[in-house]
């Protein structure tokens, strides 16, 4: 895991290129404290901050050159050993043991199509010093970031926006459409758009070439849209085998590996499978908790794992206090680059800080499973809509009876479920997101323009929702926090559930493999049934990675955030925002998340734009 930077700007000589690159690399030194390297020439250059994970020797330093090509690479290609053997059969020799050299050799051997062979997470750029062509790629889900500014014949790129701020081409004008999406929906980016008008991101599953002043972007992968015919037993065995293989690849490292752990299915499945299937002999885990009345404390479930696996599992617990949150808020926000739509990333930030103290440089995270395996409660709305569309009334009633049995809720709650399920039957994902954008919160923005087009290709309702979450609404933001919070402390975070082979298999399964008999993520639960403690396997509540932030911090230690400034919020109906915040301060939690987004946007604009 590293920081990459580069530029093509014919107006700069070699010394000027070097100066700019030093400034850019200095802004993201936290991403790679082990080595910083540069390649410069008149009009072009590359820079790299290295976090040494594979091949700790100087042979793995970057920029790395091979013939007329130079590469800067951020991430891990986990199947690099298998690809390396394939290349050696073709006569390719290697001078290091790093996956970076395998990526570069793969590009030289197979061109742009090399990325189809990779299992992993990446953002990289390869510069042809002879032709001046720049080839860039980002992994299938955008786990690793890639931002750029294209201005005429100039092209600048970096892992974080703060590095682009060091260039002469950066402008801090905000992207009004994206600010609206942030306020209304909590999105921090959309497709290639960011919160800044002139800063774009290379989209997930895309490659980009820059040559002769022109940018060309091509998509190399997409989510499958056809179901497979398979029995329960076949599906469980296949998912289990893919999950095991993903874990085996994800623990390849020349440094220590740990795991973040809650008492939920996802992170518990990773830790349990690692130990029960002897993929790892021991693992150190890290759990955040809040133990005051009404707060989330997952330690009882984590203790189930400790009891099951004994000395194989070393559990660490962290209880952040609000004084720490206040003192770290500026540093936390600096690392995010954008405002955050909720307080849960703050918990993740503090757990990464604790991990760094332990000396662990690689962490495994359960991110991603909810977004394609039916982990969120609102997946039920599309499930019922799917059953009703297919005239499967019996299945709809059966599943509803199980949901009522396991999920708490009053009459109003179940009326809301019915209403949203009916909407899931009648409307596609584009219409549903349009309704969500305008419903209730739309009074905040000055106009009603709506700039979202999902372009979802999946016709089945549950998978269409999951595709939307993977590509647009949910996962991109979660991966942003995962990257920024871990890299703030020079930690590489790996996400085994986002092995694309596992995701592809998940999307080829019909909805009943995801939600069944009142259990979300049914296929995952069954595939690790032998490894999970029963109390975790049979959990029916869904607890997010939460903090008391929106309901408590924002009214107390962080109440200063609610004192918004009209000059800092040009896209907000200020009087309406003031009314909402006043109502929130007086105890109304109905719009707590919106109150947080408005307050935090104001804070970010005033202090970081």
- Which residues are registered as beta bridge partners of 127? 70, 134
Distance of CA 55 to CAs 86, 100, 429, 495, Å? 19, 10, 45, 21
CATH class of 2-219: alpha beta
Which pLDDT score, from 0 to 100, does residue 571 have?
78
CA separation for the pair 314, 364 (Å, rounded):
15
pLDDT of residue 446: 55
For the chain, the maximum distance between any two Cα atoms, rounded to a whole number of angstroms, is 72
E strand or H helix at 607? helix 592-608
Q: Other C-beta atoms within 10 Å of 162: how many?
A: 18
pLDDT at 448: 53
Q: What is the pLDDT of residue 567?
A: 79
Report the CATH fold assignment for 232-372+475-537. Answer: Rossmann fold (3.40.50)
Confidence at residue 286, expressed as pLDDT on a 0 to 100 scale: 97
Query: Could you tell me the residue ranges of all domains in the chain?
Result: 2-219, 232-372+475-537, 376-470, 566-608
The torsion angles phi and psi of 210, rounded to 5 degrees, stand at -125, 120
Spans of the chain below 50 pLDDT: none
Query: What is the C-alpha separation between 9 and 20, in angstroms, rounded?
Result: 11
């Amino acid at each position: 895991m590293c920081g990459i930077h580069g530029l093509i700007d014919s107006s700069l000589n070699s010394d000027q290129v070097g100066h700019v690159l030093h400034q850019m690399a200095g802004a993201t030194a936290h991403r790679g404290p082990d080595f910083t390297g540069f390649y410069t020439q008149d009009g072009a250059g590359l820079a790299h901050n290295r976090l040494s994970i594979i091949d700790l020797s100087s042979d793995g330093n970057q920029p790395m050159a091979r013939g007329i090509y130079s590469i800067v690479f951020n991430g891990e290609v986990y199947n690099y050993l298998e690809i390396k053997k394939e290349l050696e059969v073709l006569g390719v020799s290697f001078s290091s043991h790093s996956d970076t050299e395998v990526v570069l050799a793969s590009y030289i051997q197979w061109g742009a199509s090399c990325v189809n062979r990779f299992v992993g997470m990446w953002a990289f750029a390869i510069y042809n010093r002879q032709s001046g062509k720049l080839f860039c790629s980002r992994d299938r889900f955008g786990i690793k970031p890639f931002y750029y500014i294209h201005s005429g014949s100039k092209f600048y790129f970096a892992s974080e926006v703060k590095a682009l701020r060091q260039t002469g081409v950066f402008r801090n004008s905000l992207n009004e459409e994206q600010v609206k999406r942030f306020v209304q929906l909590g999105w921090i980016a959309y497709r290639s758009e960011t919160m800044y008008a002139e800063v774009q991101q290379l989209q997930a599953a895309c490659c980009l070439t820059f040559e002769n002043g022109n940018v060309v972007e091509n998509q190399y992968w997409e989510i499958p849209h056809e179901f497979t015919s398979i029995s329960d037993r076949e599906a469980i065995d296949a998912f289990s085998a893919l999950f095991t293989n993903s874990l085996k690849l994800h623990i390849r490292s020349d440094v220590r590996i740990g795991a973040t752990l809650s008492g939920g299915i996802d992170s518990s499945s990773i830790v349990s499978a690692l130990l029960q299937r002897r993929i790892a002999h021991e693992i150190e885990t890290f759990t955040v908790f809040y133990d005051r009345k009404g707060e989330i404390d997952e330690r009882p479930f984590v203790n189930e794992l400790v009891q099951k696996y004994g000395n194989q599992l070393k559990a660490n617990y962290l209880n952040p206090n609000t004084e720490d949150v206040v003192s770290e808020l500026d540093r936390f926000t600096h690392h995010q680059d954008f405002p955050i739509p909720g307080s849960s990333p703050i918990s993740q930030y503090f757990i990464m800080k604790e991990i760094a103290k332990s000396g662990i440089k690689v962490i495994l995270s359960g991110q991603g499973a909810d977004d394609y395996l039916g982990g969120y409660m609102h997946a039920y709305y599309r499930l019922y809509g799917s059953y009703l569309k297919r005239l499967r009334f019996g299945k709809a009633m059966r599943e509803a009876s199980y949901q009522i049995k396991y999920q708490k809720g009053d009459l109003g709650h179940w009326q809301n479920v019915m209403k949203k399920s009916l909407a899931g039957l009648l409307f596609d994902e584009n219409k549903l997101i349009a309704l969500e954008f305008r419903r209730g919160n739309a009074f905040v923005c000055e106009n009603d323009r709506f700039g979202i087009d999902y372009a979802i290709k999946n016709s089945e309702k549950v998978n269409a929702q999951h595709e939307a979450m993977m590509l647009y609404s949910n996962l991109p933001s979660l991966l942003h926090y995962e990257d920024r919070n871990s890299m703030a402390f020079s930690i590489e975070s790996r996400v085994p559930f986002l092995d694309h082979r596992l995701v592809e298999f998940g999307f080829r399964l019909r909805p009943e493999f995801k939600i069944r008999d009142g259990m979300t993520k049914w296929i995952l639960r069954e595939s690790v049934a032998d490894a999970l403690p029963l109390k975790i396997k049979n959990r029916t509540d869904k607890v997010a990675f939460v903090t008391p932030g929106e309901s408590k911090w924002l009214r107390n230690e962080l109440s200063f955030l609610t004192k918004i400034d009209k000059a800092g919020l040009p896209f907000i109906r200020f009087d309406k925002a003031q009314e909402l915040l006043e109502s929130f301060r007086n105890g109304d939690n109905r719009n707590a998340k919106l109150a947080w987004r408005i307050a935090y946007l104001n804070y970010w604009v005033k202090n970081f734009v």
